Amino acid sequence: MRFEGRSWAFGDNIPTDRLVKPQYVFEPVEVMAQHVLEDLDPEFPLQVAAGDIVVTGRHFGQSSGRAIATKALKGTGIGCVVAESFARTFYRNCFEVGLPAIEVPGIKDLVNRGDVLSVDLSAGEVVNTTTGARATGSPADPFLIDMLEAGGLIALAAKRPELFGT
């Protein structure tokens, strides 16, 4: 699975509460998406375009395990999220809602906002096509690739009932 897009850069330890602030948790995904990460970069929710790639630092998506933060981020239309490391529920939720995610240590120092990245999820590779820099991270497990290809966990369970059925 490959993605190419323009990047947005964020820092370390961003909790889900800053992706979706508590006052928006009951709002529809489209509304949450209009406010994603606005405290950290007010231009992001206004200017993000389909297929863009979000690059973040360590322990991205800590705090709440509810999938709304990943749904809101996916709701912006981004193609993929790349982090130095993820909070594990956030990583899990990315795949379950159909948002490709990849962990690449050292990526933050290799990407400036606006650089164009090429991401290979199965190989665990990211190339900064603007600068030529490359980095290798953790390839996604084949089960997770299946989940993305199905369109998320619920779609996977519907498509392959033998996986979870008795």
Partner 1 sequence: MNLVEKILARASGKPSVEPGEIVIAEVDMLLMHDLSGYLTSGVYDKQVGLPIPHPERTLMVFDHHYSPPTEQQADVLHHNREWARRTGINLLDCGNGNLHHAAVRGGFVKPGMIVVGSDSHTPVHGALGALAVALGNDSHAGTVLPYGKAWFRVPETVRIELTGAPRPGTTPRDIALWLTAEIGEGTMNYKALEFTGPYVKQLGFWDRWLFPLLCVDLGAKSSYVEPDEVTEAFVRALPGGLPYDLPRGDGGEAATVLRYDVSDVVPQVACPPTVGNAKAVSDVAGRQVRYAELGGHGGGRIEDIRTAAEVLHGHTVHPDTRFNIVPSSREVFAQAVREGLVLALHEAGATWFPPSTGSNQAINMGAMAAGEAMISTHARNFPGRNGSTRAEMYLASARTVAASAVAGEIAERSTR
Which residues of this protein are in contact with partner 1, per CB under 8 A?
A: 13, 15, 17-18, 21-22, 25-26, 39, 58-59, 62-68, 70, 85-89, 92-93, 96-97, 141, 143, 152-154, 157, 163-166
Give the shortest CB-152-to-partner 1 separation in angstroms: 7
60 DSSP assignment:
B
Residue 5 or 98 having the CB closest to partner 1: 98
- Tell me how far apart the alpha carbons of residues 83 and 102 are, in angstroms, rounded to a whole number: 7
- Tell me how far apart the alpha carbons of residues 119 and 4 are, in angstroms, rounded to a whole number: 6
Residue 55 or 68 having the CB closest to partner 1: 68
H/E element, 154: helix 153-159
Helix/strand/coil for 1: coil
Give the shortest CB-76-to-partner 1 separation in angstroms: 18
Residue 5 or 92 having the CB closest to partner 1: 92
Other beta carbons within 10 Å of 100:
22
Residue 26 or 46 having the CB closest to partner 1: 26
Fill in the amino acid letter for 132. Answer: G
Give the shortest CB-24-to-partner 1 separation in angstroms: 11
Give the shortest CB-57-to-partner 1 separation in angstroms: 10
User: Which of 123, 116, 113 is CA-nearest to residue 145?
Assistant: 123
